[in-house]
Structure 1
């Protein structure tokens, strides 16, 4: 579990990424279900707000991945992180099933674990500025996919509602 007090091996680079731990904790583990060890954050709560919540969660996840890319995450690592985000965004936008999925699948926490393992294995590459354009294109494609899924969902809901009236 990622907590705001968890640190990477102390390097100047890891100090710059402390806020990533804090945001990830807020989005995925901030709250605990009373009487259990089950934790959740703002991500599934935002997902309860149709359309806007999914877009807000995507925005936070995208900002985290961009930050990690700027701080030396490899291209392969970024692709794995974007797959986590795409799963979270697409499956999380499905009504009811997506809300349950959002409580269980913690994309930001998974991405920080990937980044931590990347640093611990010594694969840190310095600045990741050479892959920023690819990351931006990938994030835009995921955003387009999210908007399309939400549009299709809204259209379907509209048709279902119209058939009852």
Structure 2
């Protein structure tokens, strides 16, 4: 064989081995992925529209030290269309709840909770079964066959002391 052909084959083999080595080290270090996994698609969470649903019973708990807030809020809710029999006002066991919140038990009740929050002039809305009655006294579980109930816990943000102070123009 000719020496030029042997040198050419040696050069091609060397270049090929260097390329394979570089590619292999990139794969081993994770900089190149041979079989990439598909990117998960993120679907937007559908926004729930507020609905005023007066079929829900409402419990209003005053979790502040200021007297009369639960009764005042009950009157606002009744004026918005709820029957006086379906709205109960009471004092909570705490007096330092920070922010007025409307609680609902099931995802299907979120629209009604948002509607009630609008009726009372704005409030945080949160899903929780903490304030829901249990229909069956023998169980500690909540099920959707129960009567629909929303609970408003009045926070310090609704008191004169908890109201935000106006900003001064300095």
Q: One fold, TM greater than 0.5?
A: no
The bucket for the TM-score relative to the shorter chain is under 0.3
More helix by share: 1
TM-score by length of 2: 0.24
